[in-house]
Chain A
Amino acid sequence: MSTHDELASLASQFSNKDFRSRHFAPVRWEHGASSKALPFPRGYVWSSLSKALQNANTGPIMCLAPLVWQLEPLVHSCTQAQQRPIISVSAENPLLAKAYFDQLEVSVMVTTPEIFNTLQTKLAPELTRLSKIVIVHASPASVNLSESNTDLPVVDEIHLVPGLWLATRDCGDTTFSLNKTLTWKLDSKNAEVALELPSGSLSKYISLEYGFDKANHKQYIVRV
């Protein structure tokens, strides 16, 4: 059973009361996929994005991802805390981004690998003006491990479900950092993460396996 199948099975246990006062996201990322929702730890903040914004130029933050991923309110929490304007661009109309690039000094864009690829073709010059491009990956499979995009300030993030980040790699870095707000058990090859979820008064735990390639001191997540 894949991790996402496991998550779907786990998510089906939750009902309306478990989603109150909590953020949540679909366990399926694919367009058109049948989906359930996974509630986030209470008070969750997208801390890696907050850090990326702190290290970026001043200016508006653009969120360009499928709305059903529920990312936009999370991004807004980060922009609000740093008194920056948010720009929400619908994934159905990604080239609307050009109108904003033409009229504003957009600082950071949060997007998906697919949309990033589209924009690289259509809006390549505009992307070079960004201070950071945060790409949210469903799996390490879509991360470009060959680092051929080093010309652009790409921050790769691997998320368990959209918005719930597990690992991040800043532009120029060769290794990923794990989300320290989650509880990890690491050995030389595997990682296990504990995640607080609502289920009555109990917390549930899920385990994820990670492999680490330590050749040349590089540490890559290769499997979720």
Chain B
Amino acid sequence: MSAEFGKLQKMYVHAMENPYSDFYRAFYRSDALSNINSIAEWHSLPFLTREDIEQVPLSDRIFTPLEEVSAFRATSGTSGRKPLITPRKGFTTFPKAAMNCSGLLLFYNSPHLITRGRDEMKKDFPIVVGSFNDTEQSVQLAAHIGVDALFCFPFQLQELIPLLQKYDIAHGMKSIELTGERVSEREYTMLRTIFPNAEIFPSYGATELQAIAAYGDEVPTPHQNILRPSPHFFWEIVDEYGAVVTHEGAEGSLVLTSLNIELSAFPLLRYAIGDYMRIAAIDEQKNVTYYKPIGRPHVDIVKIPGGILYAENVLSVLDDIHPDITNVFEGHVYFRNKKVQLDLHVVAKTKKPFTEALRQELAEKISGRIFVGPNNTYQDGEAKGLYENLTLTITNDQLVKNSKRKPFIEHYE
């Protein structure tokens, strides 16, 4: 058994026997195993989703005495969903971008995690905490104090870059860490041009978790947009039927498990975060697997050339398209070769097989009824050469639920 599997076993026992929370005892109920003796048993554990977590009051999912909780964090709620609050225990972080800096401009909702991380590292550089809606004042402070490192979210770059140039910080920037979400190759290349003297460190995380991966020097690829998992989490990639895939090039939904008991005020076991990953490379000598993020479901609408895909519209189309299929779907939107393709995965009501001819017929019917504008359908876009033909996958299995409950998953190539 690997050391990592040993950690999974310990975490499972910690979660199941925890005296402060019976979250997992209630979640697994009669299916609960007293211990995990093999990876096959581990794979038999059900996925945990955000919906599962939300059904349990916060006070019932704190695995430690309250005085040992150092912070609570919440998702923003800006997507229209109720914010998900999670407890933290002693976790701090130190941005790779700050390793050799003389000053850091930091955009982060819980800045103490990083100021404390700096103090623990015995560093003395100033950290300027920036406000998301007062970016210019934040940059002015940074210019006064003198910073050469930046930690922010990719979505801020459009506003930040002109200000960093205006206050003459851009040229001297030595390192930039982009956190929270996927950084596209296009964004990465743009940053290399604008900040010629800066190293770019994208990291990857989620509010309910913390940083779950980072990009590092060790990555065996010319593109740094490849993730190395954080040692605090065990990564699994599962296909649309819930089976774990492990071979290079395989794609699927990311499932995470906390590995560090000391830092886990709420340990996550097989948490389906909803992000999609490709296994980019496997270094057997170092026993490290590298991943490329290929999509994060982050909107209920997806902008595509010539229009917008609306989840509500797809739902209403599926409601009455055929008596044997449900309206439960995942819409995979591929942006490739200047064209868009919608690959719709739909759950069937019965196990009765669909013929290829019927599946094709339904795909065409759906394409003709999905409106991407007031008067034009996805099918119109196909005819104009804007979109590849809509493809339809009908499955009898429940789709791997993504934790963000977002119906669309975008894929960029």
Contacts and interface: CB of A to CB of B under 8 A. Distances in A.
Nearest to B108: A67
B137 A35 contact: yes
B210 to A, nearest CB: 14
B72 A87 contact: yes
A10 interface: no
A24 B131 contact: no
A96 B83 contact: yes
B229 interface: no
A75 B78 CA distance: 25
A92 B132 contact: yes
B146 A76 contact: no
Interface in B330-371: none
B145 A99 contact: no
B70 A68 contact: no
Contact of B85 (A21, A24, A36, A99): A99
A76 B76 contact: no
Contacts of A57: none
B37 interface: no
Contacts of A60: 69, 72
Nearest to A62: B72
B129 A76 contact: no
A87 B132 CA distance: 18
Nearest to B140: A35
Interface string A30-44: 011111110000000
A153 interface: no
Interface string A16-53: 10011110101010011111110000000000000000
Contacts of A19: 103, 126, 145
B136 interface: yes
Given A19-B126, A34-B140, A93-B76, A88 B110 contact: yes
A172 interface: no
Contacts, number: 134
B55 interface: no
B138 interface: yes
Interface stretch (B111-119, B182-190, B240-248, B311-319): B111-119
A103 B144 CA distance: 41
A122 to B, nearest CB: 14
Contacts of A80: 70, 116
A84 B87 CA distance: 12
B87 A85 contact: yes
Contact of A103 (B66, B85, B115, B116): B85
A85 B129 contact: no
B98 to A, nearest CB: 14
B115 A73 contact: yes
Given A19-B103, A100-B74, A66 B134 contact: yes
A24 B57 CA distance: 38
B137 A104 contact: no
Contacts of B35: none
B131 A92 contact: yes
A130 to B, nearest CB: 16
Contacts of B128: 37, 70
B103 A16 contact: yes
B112 A73 contact: yes
Given A85-B70, A96-B74, A76 B112 contact: yes
A50 B205 CA distance: 32
Contacts of B250: none
B100 interface: no
Contacts of B136: 32
A67 B111 contact: yes
A110 to B, nearest CB: 13
A86 B70 CA distance: 6
A104 B57 CA distance: 10
Contacts of A22: 126
B126 A20 contact: yes
* Chain A CB within 10 Å, residue with most, of B83, B87, B110, B144: B144
A91 interface: yes
A96 B110 CA distance: 14
B71 interface: yes
B59 interface: yes
B130 interface: yes
A156 interface: no
Contacts of A11: 144
Contact of A16 (B71, B74, B146): B146
Task: Please name the 5 residue pairs, one residue from A and one from B, whose CB atoms are nearest each other, closest first.
Answer: A76-B112, A16-B146, A68-B131, A19-B126, A73-B115
Interface of B: 57-59, 66-74, 76-78, 82-83, 85, 87-88, 102-103, 107, 109-112, 115-116, 124-134, 136-138, 140-141, 144-146
Interface of A: 11-12, 14-16, 19-22, 24, 26, 28, 31-37, 58-60, 66-68, 70, 72-73, 75-76, 80, 83-93, 96, 99-100, 103-104
5 contacts: A16-B102, A68-B130, A80-B70, A88-B112, A93-B78
Given A12-B144, A73-B129, 10 more contacts: A16-B126, A20-B126, A31-B133, A34-B137, A35-B137, A35-B141, A85-B66, A85-B70, A99-B85, A100-B72
